[in-house]
Structure 1
């Protein structure tokens, strides 16, 4: 017999869900800030900056998130620095997110007509001012839907962090399944938790995409 009631399992899973949500927010906000910088470098007039940004993006898009997680968690430890699973998960998922957001946003910026750059240059704006005041406000409208859509991948990506011992929703589910001997019930609740996080985001992305096409 298990000492866990159904509601004990639910309470523990809700705690894991909170950590999943927190990690997703940290990765998305941190990845957004880094991704914006990488995107600016990616569209720079300087070849060196473009190459650095391209290499960064290809590195994180071309390797599995799990490998990136292992490299952060075990690689930092080799340097003699004690790193917690939470911090390693946050760093790895933030870097992973930043590469994808940078490429999404680059595509949105480059979809703006080149004449907009020329028109803003005629106003004596420097490239950063052109980007800030003219290009980004237009690109933002295009970027919202794919950005929200990618947030679903960030949420689901947090499940990988259970491998290094971070106790988010999947890890909590695994421990409860072992303790209760009811894996079907536990993992059913885990799946429901991810669905409740991801489905509203998916609906929002589709809605925003329809709005964009309707107003195009």
Structure 2
């Protein structure tokens, strides 16, 4: 690998991490699944592979489609806001009702299909993923000309490393979450994050910000 390729790859890695290392709906979900040790590998793969697909689409020029058809972003925005609000309600119920907790976590585990479906919705119904990953990252990658795919490879590596660390590293916090109260606090925070994101999406759609 030439030094120039390595530098572009590292640039993509850093930029990709800057977009995903933040408190958000997707990261909150991955963290929770990691703490539960429930379907962690499928969740990590769904998030990472979704990011890779979006990165490739952005570099290939899909960002231009969203720029020409902003109505697509509007539709995803409202759908995403509705889903996030519903998820916030369920998280709030788990936080308010101690009976929904058992042995440091929910008494009833979700099926793999339900977990993957939720993860897909949190990923693909988030309009920011199109604006940040497809449009912004794709645009910056294309400034590197023929080396744009090295930039994309770096961003893809960043996504895979981050979600793997978040999902499987969450178990290090297991001693803290051995107490049901810790789960109530986490679910309360998740409910607030999801609700805040839903409201911000609606406001942005209405104001065109």
Larger-gyration structure (1/2): 1
TM-score, length-scaled by structure 1:
0.36
Higher relative contact order, structure no. (Cα contacts within 8 Å, ≥ 6 residues apart): 2
